[in-house]
Amino acid sequence: MPSPGHRSTSLRYIEDCCPRALDHYEAGVPYDRDVFQVGVAAHAVIEMVGKYPDQPREELAQQVAVALCTTGRSFEGEPEGPLRPQAATAGRDLALRFLAAHELSPSAKFEHGLAVDREWRPVPYDSPAVYYRAAIDMLEVVEETDEDGYATTTIVTTDWKSAWPTSPDELETLQLHGQAAVALAHYPDAQVLRRRAANLRTLAIFEADVYLDDSGLAQVATWRKDIDLLIAVAEHRSEDGTRPARAGATCIGCPYVSRCEPARTWLRGSLLDATPEAVATRLAVADAVRRELWEQAKELCGEGPVSIPGGEVGFLTVRERKPRPDIGEVLALAWFGAADPTTWREANHSTDQWIGLLQTLAIGVGSAEQVAKLLFPSGKGRDWRPLREALVSQCVVSQPATKFSIAKHSTPKEEANDEV
Ligand code: SF4
């Protein structure tokens, strides 16, 4: 780890994955960080615009984008490689769009580092005594006096989020709780802590206040305890000096799954170990690896399908079956055996209402097949197969679509079976 102490990014590995993931992080095990690049660029642009409000904004943003995709940036003292130009420009534009909608406070501090020691006392960000620290995207100290002359100091911590799904839930994350708790240590005389999460995509800003009376202070104390607990887990090591690995569903989304030895051990594990727990764990790890490879392959096979033994992988043209718009009505007519829709409608006055209901339920292809099976059950000597097929084809349309997939070339035997 480049600097002493813990921060939300490192503790999140314990929350979202397992303690061994933090070992991988600290050891600098490489993983695909492309997904963060747009956000990195947007943060950098907002920081510079905030720090130099008198400079022409577009020019400043362009300079930041150029620097990011030529020399790269350094994070917490560690140099990082240059960004992809597409990511830098996307981040630049995201930031400018957000800034056009939301002015930054001229008195705010940007990318402001605050740290505490083990007793949650304020210490300099680079102190060897740092226990927990937070780099706050935007920090403001707002002094207000109401008409009765009562003065209030509000500490506002704002976090920029470039993920589309950012919602008010973000306010209750370890990261934002940690920012508020560290801010309180540095501004103990404040009356209010306001934590904010800004969605750079939707331009929405979510916020929540803690009034620092007894109940508010107890709330912040709970957040500190939550962080203390995660730090205790982070500081616990096995006899061999590593943190414990807990392979399983924890591996899904872990950025180290392809390079993690405990996860690989599960994949290589003896197939004779067929206890329910062993098979379930192996399946979860395999699924985690599959998901990671799937995303990686999508990225790498974008230029065209790649031939592999027995088939190909990539964006392939496939036939896709979709429900027709009137699927609900077709199935209803078939179900009630209504040969003539007009007569049937006249005889059943509520028909339109519950056909409307069926349409609203978004009946899928599988449901049409299920109804066809029930109406035309298989049996010797009956013409159930063409009847089923006719009903399904009335409900379903087959059209070409491009889908990322793995195609296995048919063997002559399989082709022969297909024709049966
Ligand atoms: S891959 Fe699984 S076992 Fe390995 S660090 Fe990640 S969560 Fe832990």
pLDDT tens for 100-159 read 999 999 999 999 999 999 999 999 999 999 999 999 999 999 999 988 889 999 999 999
Q: Is 118 among the domain residues?
A: yes
The answer to whether residues 290 and 168 belong to one domain is no
The answer to whether residues 294 and 368 belong to one domain is no
Domain count along the chain: 3
The answer to whether residues 142 and 208 belong to one domain is yes
pLDDT value at residue 416: 53
Q: Is 380 among the domain residues?
A: yes
pTM of the shown model: 0.79
Tokens representing 362 are 């978004």
The answer to whether residues 282 and 342 belong to one domain is no
Q: Is 83 among the domain residues?
A: no
Q: Which residues contact 111 (CB under 8 A, 6 or more apart)?
A: 43, 47, 135, 136, 137
The answer to whether residues 214 and 340 belong to one domain is no
Q: Which amino acid is at 277?
A: E
pLDDT value at residue 419: 41
Q: Is 223 among the domain residues?
A: yes
The answer to whether residues 343 and 273 belong to one domain is no
Q: Is 151 among the domain residues?
A: yes
The answer to whether residues 234 and 259 belong to one domain is no
Q: Is 341 among the domain residues?
A: yes
The answer to whether residues 149 and 121 belong to one domain is yes
Residue with the smallest CA separation from ligand 1 atom 1 is: 257
Instruction: With cut-offs at 50, 70 and 90, classify the pLDDT of residue 420.
Output: very low
In percent, how much of the chain has pLDDT > 90?
A: 70
The answer to whether residues 157 and 273 belong to one domain is no
The answer to whether residues 112 and 224 belong to one domain is yes
Residue 130 neighbours by CB distance under 10 Å? 20
Q: Is 31 among the domain residues?
A: no
The answer to whether residues 336 and 235 belong to one domain is no
pLDDT value at residue 381: 60
Å from CA of 23 to ligand 1 middle? 10
Backbone angles phi, psi at 136, to 5 degrees: -90, 125
The answer to whether residues 279 and 382 belong to one domain is no
Tokens representing 42 are 């947007």
Bridging pattern class, strands 311-323 and 396-408: antiparallel
**195 contacts 176 by C-beta, under 8 angstroms:** yes
Q: Is 418 among the domain residues?
A: no
Å from CA of 130 to ligand 1 middle? 27
Of 106, 94, 255, the C-alpha closest to 162 is: 94
Q: Which residues contact 383 (CB under 8 A, 6 or more apart)?
A: none
How many Cα atoms occupy the beta-carbon half-sphere of 94 within 13 Å?
25
- Domain span including residue 329: 318-403
Å from CA of 226 to ligand 1 middle? 22
Residue with the smallest CA separation from ligand 1 atom 2 is: 251
Q: Ligand 1: list residues with CB < 6 Å.
A: 17-18, 20-21, 24, 245-247, 250-251, 254, 256-257, 260, 262-263
